[in-house]
Amino acid sequence: MFKKVFQITHSLLLVIAAFAAQATSHDESPSFKALPLTDNISMLQGRGGNLAVLSGKQGILLIDDDFKAMSDALKAELSNYGGLDKLTYIINTHWHGDHTQGNLALGDHAQIVAHDNVRTRLLTRQEIKLFNMVSEPYPEAALPSITYQQAMTLYINGEEINVVHYPNGHTDGDSIVYFKNANVVHMGDHFFSGFFPFVDISSGGNVLKMAANIEAVLHRVDDQTKIIPGHGPLSSKSDLRAFHEMLVGTAAEVKAMKDKGMSQEQAQKEGLSDQWNEWTDGFLSTESWIGIVYQSL
């Protein structure tokens, strides 16, 4: 059954690999690029969503775990932080395969932590129509074993990790993870740094709610905070603010078109003002983005 799933999801991998090209080397064998952020926290970039790893005496905490095709490379990368035996927690920021398929290989070694709705979605068949992608139910060992509804805190290696749910942004099960002492934040897919994001309407995502959630995050971080986006390079508060302005600004333009009675297709034909052109760089076309915004209104 899983063979079939991964054949289908391979097409998503190609789509995402294309836009994540800046994070992907041209090497034949997949590997991770590690960027140390503090003494014991690093950002890892593979082919799917960005990862974070916290290591120390009490074990390894991993945020997200990339595609299945990256699992061998991820195991190899983790050997730099003490190895699989030290893996203690995996946090899944949301259910998408480019952030959770590593659960299939690593789930036996760690407790998987996520919002309630991530477990619910991974228990059943999921579909993302925009990418023509289907995800079959995950086996027990790859499912989140610890779930929460609004917020939870983990203490490991002298760090306080606040895992906070922000409703209906990128999906209906998103977590944003704050490393309190280190002043590092992993945004999950609430943040695509520098380009139009995918917002999964069919999984309960919504552009306007995503913007409201990010506004709340902007109140919680400062100019020194190291911000790990779901996709794109390590970022700062000003990058997150620019992303927020783009969400609000493009939503206002699409709303104005909708209010004039234009259909989604007409709005897509009309386009956005030129100031947003650079946000098409890397992933979604303006047309696709207008469609996502239109459906969020």
Residue ranges binding Zn ion (CB under 5 A): 96, 189
| 8 vs 256, beta carbon nearer Zn ion | 8
Residue 252 Cβ vs Zn ion, minimum distance, rounded to whole Å: 24
Least distance between Zn ion and beta carbon 263 (Å)? 27
| Residue number, 96 or 244, with CB nearest to Zn ion | 96
User: What does DSSP say about strands 159-165 and 151-156: parallel, antiparallel, or unpaired?
Assistant: antiparallel
Non-local CB neighbours of 118 within 8 Å, separated by 6+ positions: 92, 94, 95, 100, 144, 147, 173
Least Å from the CB of residue 99 to Zn ion: 6
Q: Which is nearer to Zn ion, 22 or 80 (CB)?
A: 22
Task: Write down the least CB distance from residue 96 to Zn ion, Å.
Answer: 4
We find the least distance from the C-beta atom of residue 191 to Zn ion, in angstroms, to be 11
If the CB atoms of residues 112 and 257 are measured against Zn ion, the closer one turns out to be: 112
Q: Say if strands 146-148 and 184-186 run parallel, antiparallel, or are unpaired.
A: unpaired
- Residue 74 or residue 257: which is nearer to Zn ion going by CB? 74
Distance CA 42, CA 62 (A): 10
Q: Which is nearer to Zn ion, 257 or 293 (CB)?
A: 293
Cβ(135)–Cβ(120) under 8 Å? no
Nearer to Zn ion, 109 or 119 (CB): 119
237-259 and 207-220 helices, crossing angle to 10°: 150
Least separation in angstroms between CB 189 and Zn ion: 4
Tell me whether residue 66 or residue 189 sits nearer to Zn ion (CB atom).
189
Distance CA 146, CA 112 (A): 6
Least Å from the CB of residue 273 to Zn ion = 27
Cα-based torsion angle of the residue sequence 264, 215, 169, 226 in order, rounded to the nearest 10 degrees: 120
Least distance from C-beta 259 to Zn ion, angstroms?
Answer: 30
